[in-house]
Amino acid sequence: MGDIFTGLESMGFGGLSNIKVYDDDKKEQGKDGSGKEPVHVVSEADYIFEKKIQCPVCDSEFKSKTVKTGKPRLIGSDSDLRPKYSGIDSIKYDAIVCPNCGYAALSRYFGYMTSAQAKLIKDNVSSQFRRLPESGNVFTYDEAINRHKLALFNAIVKKAHSSEKAYTCLKIAWLYRGKRENLDMSRADAQAVKKECEQKEREMISNAFEGFVTSRASEEFPICGMDEATFDYLLADLAAKLGKYDISAKLASGVIVSRTANSKIKERARDLRDIIKNKATK
Cβ atoms of 142 and 179 within 8 Å: the answer is yes
Distance CA 25, CA 18 (A): 46
Residue bearing the bigger pLDDT, 178 or 6: 178
Burial label, 224 (beta-carbon count in 10 A; 0-12, 13-18, 19+): buried
Under 8 Å between Cβ of 76 and 84: yes
Residue 265 has what pLDDT?
A: 98
208-243 pLDDT per residue, tens: 999 999 999 999 999 999 999 999 999 999 999 999
pLDDT digits (tens, 9 = 90+) for 129-139: 998 887 889 99
pTM attached to this predicted model: 0.88
Say if residue 26's pLDDT is above 80: no
Of the pLDDT bands very low, low, confident and very high (cuts 50, 70, 90), residue 39 is low
Per-residue pLDDT band for 256 (boundaries 50, 70, 90) equals very high
Q: What percent of the chain has pLDDT over 70?
A: 93
Residue 28 confidence (pLDDT): 42
> How much of the chain, in percent, has pLDDT values that exceed 90?
80
> From CA 212, how far away is CA 44, in angstroms rounded?
32
